[in-house]
Amino acid sequence: MQTLTLTDGRTLAFDTYGAPDGVPVIFNHGFSDSRLIRNPDAALTESLGVWVIAADQPGVGGSSPKPNRTMAEWADDMEQLADHLELSTFAVAGHSGGAPHALAIAARLPDRVTHGVLASPVGPFDKDGYSHMLAMKDLKLVVKIHHFQRLLRWAYKLDVKKAQKDIDAYLAETAKEDPSDAATFTASPEQRDMFVANFSAGMEQGEEGIFEMTLALWNWGFDLSEVPQHFDVFYGDADDILEPAMPKQVAEQLPNSTAHVWPEAGHYGFVDADRWRQFLGAVAPDASGRA
The pTM assigned to this predicted structure is 0.93
25, β-bridge pairs: 52, 91
Between CA 250 and CA 236 the distance in angstroms is 14
Domain contains 72: yes
Domain contains 6: yes
Domain contains 291: no
* CATH number of the domain to which 275 belongs: 3.40.50.1820
43: helix, strand or coil? helix
- In total, the chain counts a number of residues equal to 291
Domain contains 288: no
Residues 6+ positions from 4 with CB-CB distance below 8 Å: 11, 12, 14, 80, 81, 84
Q: What is the pLDDT of residue 135?
A: 62
Of the candidates 179, 29, 56, which has an alpha carbon nearest to the alpha carbon of residue 118?
A: 29
Q: What's the domain range around 142?
A: 2-281
Domain contains 105: yes
Angle between helices 149-165 and 208-216 (to 10 degrees): 140
Domain contains 286: no
Q: What is the pLDDT of residue 132?
A: 77
Between CA 215 and CA 221 the distance in angstroms is 12
Domain contains 185: yes
Domain contains 287: no
How many domains would you assign to the chain? 1
Residue 54 to residues 1, 33, 150, Cα–Cα distance (Å)? 10, 11, 30
Per-residue pLDDT of the chain (291 residues; tens, 9 = 90+): 999 999 999 999 999 999 999 999 999 999 889 999 999 999 999 999 999 999 999 999 999 999 999 999 999 999 999 999 999 999 999 999 999 999 999 999 999 999 999 999 998 888 877 777 776 677 777 777 777 888 888 988 988 998 898 999 888 888 888 899 999 999 899 999 999 999 999 999 999 999 999 999 888 999 999 999 999 999 999 988 888 988 999 999 999 999 999 999 999 999 999 999 999 999 987 654 344
Query: DSSP letter at 131?
Result: G
- Reported as half-sphere exposure (CB side, CA atoms, 13 A), residue 236 has a value of 23
Residue 206 to residues 159, 202, 233, Cα–Cα distance (Å)? 9, 8, 31
Q: What is the pLDDT of residue 287?
A: 56
